[in-house]
Amino acid sequence: MFLIVSQLLVAIFGIAICVLATWGLYAPKKLTQLVLKVVDQHFGLYFAVAVRFILGLSLIVASTASPFPRVFQVLGWIAIFAAAGLLWLGRRRMRKFVAVFERFSPLIIRLWLLFGIAFGAFLIYGVGYIQKF
């Protein structure tokens, strides 16, 4: 049961990453503004922490059925440590950190988003949702 839920969550995260990154390719400034808007909200820090923590746990559990178990485990632990790091960082410093990306040129943002699409696709592939087609 936990394995299926974890695989589904990883696939949903992968799809969401691909969709947001693809949207960002066409409108990098709008994506940056959306991220800054979420970060500025009172719940923004907790949302970012929760997303990373849930993704991390899901990756670790889903690693048992993945063709890339070690990679999924490492990514899962990185996500969990990133969640803890965001809590330590705090909302004000997180806002400053995210604001750095606002100053990047659209080209640099688009290049980063290409990695985002590849990462999202890897997550989907890694839990087998593309392999089954």
User: In this structure, what token pair is assigned to residue 46?
Assistant: 């907790």
User: What pLDDT, in 10s, does the model give residues 19-65?
Assistant: 999 999 999 888 888 888 888 888 888 999 999 999 999 999 999 99
Give the DSSP letter of residue 113. Answer: H
Name the strand (E) or helix (H) holding 13: helix 2-26
User: What pLDDT, in 10s, does the model give residues 87-103?
Assistant: 898 888 888 887 788 78
Single pTM value for the model:
0.88
pLDDT > 60? residue 116? yes
User: 125 burial class (0-12, 13-18, 19+ CB within 10 angstroms)?
Assistant: middle
Cβ atoms of 62 and 10 closer than 8 Å: yes
Cβ atoms of 21 and 41 closer than 8 Å: no
Dist. CA 22–CA 110, nearest whole Å: 9
